[in-house]
Amino acid sequence: MSRKLVYTGKAKDIYTTSEDENLIISVYKDQATMLNGARKETIEGKGILNNQISSLIFEKLNVAGVATHFIKQLSETEQLNKKVEIIPLEVVLRNYTAGSFSKRFAVEEGLKLETPILEFYYKNDDLNDPFINDEHVKFLDIATDEEIAYIKNETRRINGFLSDWFSQIGLKLIDYKLEFGKDKDGNIILADEFSPDNCRLWDAEGRHMDKDVFRRDLGSLTDVYQVVLEKLQGLEK
Ligand code: TMP
């Protein structure tokens, strides 16, 4: 099967395959970035861990009836996905206060949000992914009213599954970022990845089990990701 590199991202490279134009191969890399790529480091083993974690979560979401781009894990660092046109929205769901939310509203981290808060950011590196609302989404022609409603409903439905799975393994799902795309038939499906790179997970003692370990220099990122993977593998049995 021959392949062609079509996109190189911060954490993944994307290839098309000669076999089927509707499929892509995502290759998870050992790179960690923050501040829109201003800080960049190679962390050996991160790609393998994130591919395994994301494959496991997406497989469970598929089984739960969520439409996703995930087909199967191909190797330690590779997975086979449906090709989508990514909708340029970072959909952030917050169950607890943390990160930019705590900064923006000057509130402490870790407060439970009685109704989880959904936020949109415009996925645009040149503009530093600005915080936007539904009306901006429409103005920018990113999605229609119906599509916005679908993305919001689906994100809250996914939140039910994810929060439950993480709670079963003793981790609090603080917040996370999702991306959606349109498949060849124009259907909106969940795309990108779900790993500790794009979510916040706190253990029972409030320890960070996610990329904040890198962002805040709290220790070994891969040690923490390995614990998350092993806990999730326990959940599968
Ligand atoms: P924030 O608190 O920095 O806005 O991040 C909220 C969640 O979204 C957090 O789990 C990290 C994730 N996220 C990404 O995956 N990519 C990004 O570019 C940003 C800004 C956040």
Per-residue pLDDT of the chain (237 residues; tens, 9 = 90+): 689 999 999 999 999 999 899 999 999 999 999 988 888 999 999 999 999 999 999 999 999 999 999 999 999 999 999 999 999 999 999 999 999 999 999 999 999 999 999 999 999 999 999 999 999 999 999 999 999 999 999 999 999 999 999 999 999 999 999 999 999 999 999 999 999 999 999 999 999 999 999 999 999 999 999 999 999 999 965
Encode burial over 56-81: b for 16+ CB neighbours within 10 A, e otherwise: bbbbbbeeeebebbbeebeeebbbbb
175 lines ligand 1 (CB under 6 A): yes
176 lines ligand 1 (CB under 6 A): yes
**Using CA positions, which residue lies closest to atom 18 of ligand 1?**
36
- pLDDT of 236 reads 60
- pLDDT of 37 reads 85
Please tell me the distance from the alpha carbon of residue 225 to that of residue 179, in angstroms, as a whole number. Answer: 21
92 lines ligand 1 (CB under 6 A): yes
Ligand 1 centroid to Cα of residue 94, in Å, is 10
Mutate to test the pocket of ligand 1, among 86, 198, 202, 215 (most ligand atoms within 8 A of CB): 198
pTM higher than 0.85 for the full model? yes
Please tell me the distance from the alpha carbon of residue 190 to that of residue 198, in angstroms, as a whole number. Answer: 14
- pLDDT of 185 reads 97
Please tell me the distance from the alpha carbon of residue 197 to that of residue 130, in angstroms, as a whole number. Answer: 19
96 lines ligand 1 (CB under 6 A): no
> Which atom of ligand 1 is the closest one to the Cα of 102?
2
Q: Which helix (H) or strand (E) holds 213?
A: helix 212-215
Ligand 1 centroid to Cα of residue 3, in Å, is 31
166 lines ligand 1 (CB under 6 A): no
**Using CA positions, which residue lies closest to atom 15 of ligand 1?**
198
Q: Which of 100, 62, 105 is nearest to 81 (CA)?
A: 62
The SS3 assignment for 8 reads: strand
Please tell me the distance from the alpha carbon of residue 174 to that of residue 210, in angstroms, as a whole number. Answer: 10
CB < 8 Å & 24+ apart, contacts of 25-28:
25/74, 25/78, 25/79, 25/80, 25/81, 26/78, 26/79, 26/81, 26/193, 27/77, 27/78, 28/54, 28/77, 28/78, 28/79, 28/193
- pLDDT of 237 reads 56
**Going by DSSP bridges, is the β-strand pair 39-42/31-34 parallel, antiparallel, or unpaired?**
antiparallel
- pLDDT of 2 reads 85
